[in-house]
Structure 1
């Protein structure tokens, strides 16, 4: 005999598995197709994210590596190699923070700003339109709402796991 509560739990678990597998697939496809969208500018989706983060007016003076890692929700180790490659390509620069010499500030260079604003942005906007084809403004709003809700729950998990392991949250 199947009990209604067990059936509901099985259904919830099955749906959760499907949601997280689809998120995994979407993340992989974003990396693959997003990188293709901006590869002629010499960018990857990770570099696109860094330039996007640094293009915000509130960080015109730069961001510390730690703040950038927290904003992008990546480890400092993963960000380190990315920053080195982007510095080599002339898109960003890093220098000691005048307020805290132990910290480094990352800024977008003029070359990086040109690549971001003139070359990449039109292609990114086109990519968004293609990826969101068939989505109404209401669909996009609801998708964003649920992704933010999921992200908030995952950040709570990360904080609890970090506290349990003695690490700082990502």
Structure 2
């Protein structure tokens, strides 16, 4: 009896790992397709999905006065190094400006320019909404809600792993 239980448990664990592999591979494919098809949706405005994400982050009313590069990197979950190059290109294109933080002169804030806001609100938003409509056209509100719920659970677990790895790195650095 015990051997049958162990086999059933092993089979369930194997099945879960197989499903996990398929899930993460599909997430990988979705990320790649988001980059490819999302960029195509906004390329006429001179944007990529990464720039779309930056403008989206900066368009939130809570950050109307801008965000530090570090805060923006944390919000987007990218490295400061990757973000710095992206911000430089966006600054060159007139979408964002990098200005000293009046509260802390050592810090710099990334803000959306008037031109960037026009690109975001007038040119890109209609295309982004159309893109969402095409991608999620056969999803019900419940489908979207459940998908978002599970993606947030995965993201929270990944953040916990990342935070643990950062803690391990810091502990190793202290040795």
Q: TM-score, normalised by structure 2?
A: 0.93
The offset of 1:102, in angstroms, is 1.5
Aligned match for 2:129, one of 120, 125, 131: 125
Pair member with larger Rg: 2
* Cα distance per residue 1:72-106 (max 9 Å; x no partner): 00000010000000000000000111111111100
Alpha-carbon distance in structure 2 between the residues aligned to 1:17 and 1:152: 18
Aligned match for 1:83, one of 83, 87, 90: 87
Alpha-carbon distance in structure 2 between the residues aligned to 1:7 and 1:47: 44
* Cα distance per residue 1:111-135 (max 9 Å; x no partner): 0000000000000000000010210
- Map residues 34-73 of structure 1 onto 2, 5 A cutoff: 34-73=38-77
CA-based RMSD: 1.2
Match of 1:18 in 2: 22
Alpha-carbon distance in structure 1 between the residues aligned to 2:153 and 2:36: 25
Match of 2:154 in 1: 150
- Give the number of the structure whose residues are more often helix, by fraction: 2
* Cα distance per residue 1:38-62 (max 9 Å; x no partner): 0000000000000000000010010
**Structure 2 portions without partners, runs of 5+:** none
Alpha-carbon distance in structure 2 between the residues aligned to 1:57 and 1:63: 11
Alpha-carbon distance in structure 1 between the residues aligned to 2:117 and 2:143: 32
> Number of matched residues?
167
**Structure 1 portions without partners, runs of 5+:** none
Alpha-carbon distance in structure 2 between the residues aligned to 1:59 and 1:156: 25
Which runs of 4 or more aligned residues in structure 1 lie more than 3 Å from their structure 2 counterparts after TM superposition?
A: none
